[in-house]
Chains A and B, each alone.
Chain A
């Protein structure tokens, strides 16, 4: 499969030397521990580029140009991805950069883009730190980490009886620490007490101690900001230790199909959030609407897309719109155009704030009967939340 990418990229390159081709470069996690989410981005970038090229490509100053894609595998190694981005710029001479997955990668890789003053649009990192460095060339299609539990906490306040105590658990990487910081403030404003506020090491596999603490503290709700493998272990171990909070919500896992597949029936009841659902109300200039996009994606790749995929596609679309608005491929002009871009897409409304981050509300979701059901977004309950969750022994 990788040979196909390499071959495809080489062919694109060969074609590039003749007509005006715009090349995007990215270093993505295709192998290594984070590869199961990294591949969403490879598929997203390729899918978007193919669709846009099929529709005629990018209109730059009167002429139609095709897009080429150069993807490298950083093997889930941050240091390698930094070197690869440097290489994409200096050796492969790509025009623009698309981002990797994960905030810690984006943090490191964005410095290369900023150093070279080449715009990078990334859909993989949401942590606050990415946007506090006054970088001008970095844009992100994932909404702020600190707001991830926003809609969940609003929903909680509207439940009856509303949960009064919460256990907050988070991994020690940049994204999850940002989520926890924001969540703490949201909890305080909602008047909900955090009886447990615990940071744990990324890639932890044993949660029995923390679960025992949750049980002992009688937390009514549990909020976890972590990685898919950790959340998987958490849920399984919660079941085997008989820890049954009335509500539990996770920042990852719930929207993705293979997570639900790995857990089977045990996934039911878990809440999460997503900034994107494949609904027909999200119209797109190339894909029709989000539902059609999801259908075509499933047909092509064999699995359902989630918000990572949509965020990746959004990154490509943002670039295309910006290049057309700027009327040139000059990095500075495109950068300025990106700052002003504003259009509707299958991902929602794409526009970046003055720090370069998109602003989209999170929709609270819950797995019910093996399906992802939207629960709450902004004002009212879209569907009924299964609450309080029955103890494990009664499911």
Chain B
């Protein structure tokens, strides 16, 4: 019983980080209709940014997160403004292909600049934990979980309940009307993509504190983020929490009862099931 509770706790904490990873992707996809295959690469860059801020400038990783967010925002803004804007109004498949191309380029540049050596963000308190009723809870993971939930709720409030947020959604849905109201669609799109990249960056920084960093971590993280975003549903930003928790818990239980080599079968199995049975996701509106 103890083991099950411990595993569940680990699954929940993992789910929180997963949710944050998928948030940027879900934002860009749900609002802008851009399927960003380079999302994982942005997470990877965020991890490196936090790593260098920690080892180079000796800034605590959690304190470095806002700086990482700004850096990645600029990168995302640039990508959208410079490359993606050129194909937005074409067939949607083209954004898929072009973001794949961007992923390849970003991974290559990371390998060139940072080498394939793996890094780890290891602040002094990295291994500390505390016990709650016989279950060990790692400190860093709890903080990450809190940040993840916090940012997700903040994003939900922003998109659904602030004027700017609603403006972004409106512009994405009806470009002509938005223009008539004086909204600059290029800037809105770039800002939104930048926001998505910033969120990916923060997720990367947190990921680096619990796992290791190398230029190739992007691919599997993109795949995971897709699964989470879809399972939760793209209509509601809170969906990633549901998707993340669902995946974190199912993966951990699968590893415990069936075997660690079946994790992917479980996670992507749920993805396929959700798509077939309820494509709008667990929190989505059924059309």
Contacts and interface: CB of A to CB of B under 8 A. Distances in A.
| Direct touching of A and B (C-beta under 8 Å) | yes
Nearest to A213: B3
Interface in B206-238: 210-212, 214, 216-217, 220
A329 to B, nearest CB: 35
A309 B211 CA distance: 27
Nearest to B13: A208
B122 A204 contact: no
B260 interface: yes
A240 B122 contact: no
Interface stretch (B110-118, B168-176, B269-277): B110-118
Contact of A209 (B2, B10, B127, B129): B10
Nearest to B211: A205
A17 interface: no
Interface string A113-152: 0000000000000000000000000000000000000000
Contacts of B10: 206, 208-209, 212, 241
B116 A31 contact: yes
A200 B260 contact: yes
Interface residues of A, number: 39
User: For A36, A212, A229, which residue has the most chain B Cβ atoms within 10 angstroms?
Assistant: A212
A262 B216 contact: no
B164 interface: no
A216 to B, nearest CB: 4
Contact of B129 (A198, A242, A263): A242
B127 A392 contact: yes
Given A203-B220, A204-B260, A239-B127, A229 B252 contact: no
B107 to A, nearest CB: 10
Contacts of A213: 3, 256
Given A240-B138, A258-B117, A209 B260 contact: yes
Interface centre among B10, B116, B138, B216 (most CB of A within 10 A): B116
Contact of B126 (A201, A208, A236, A258): A236
Given A200-B260, A233-B212, A262 B3 contact: no
B3 A229 contact: no
Interface in B48-105: none
A105 B3 CA distance: 38
Contacts of A239: 126-127
Nearest to A303: B117
Contacts, number: 111
B17 to A, nearest CB: 10
B119 A262 contact: yes
A237 interface: yes
B245 to A, nearest CB: 15
Given A216-B2, A216-B3, A240-B140, A208 B14 contact: yes
Is chain A's binding surface mostly helix, strand, loop or mixed?
A: helix
Determine which residue in A34, A209, A258, A262 has the highest number of CB atoms from chain B within 10 A of its CB, and name it.
A209
Interface string A223-266: 00000110011001101111000000000000000100011101
Contacts of A198: 259-260
A199 B255 CA distance: 11
B113 to A, nearest CB: 13
Interface in A250-288: 258, 262-264, 266
A89 interface: no
B120 A263 contact: yes
Contact of B111 (A31, A201, A210): A31
Nearest to A211: B10
Contacts of B140: 240
A262 B120 contact: yes
B286 interface: no
Contacts of A215: 6
Given A233-B212, A239-B127, A241-B129, 8 more contacts: A36-B118, A208-B10, A209-B10, A210-B255, A228-B118, A236-B126, A240-B141, A262-B118
7 contacts: A201-B260, A204-B263, A209-B260, A210-B260, A212-B256, A262-B120, A266-B122
| 4 tightest A-B CB contacts, nearest first | A239-B127, A35-B116, A240-B138, A208-B10
Interface of B: 2-3, 6-7, 10, 14, 108, 111, 115-120, 122, 126-129, 131, 136, 138-141, 210-212, 214, 216-217, 220, 251-252, 255-256, 259-261, 263-264
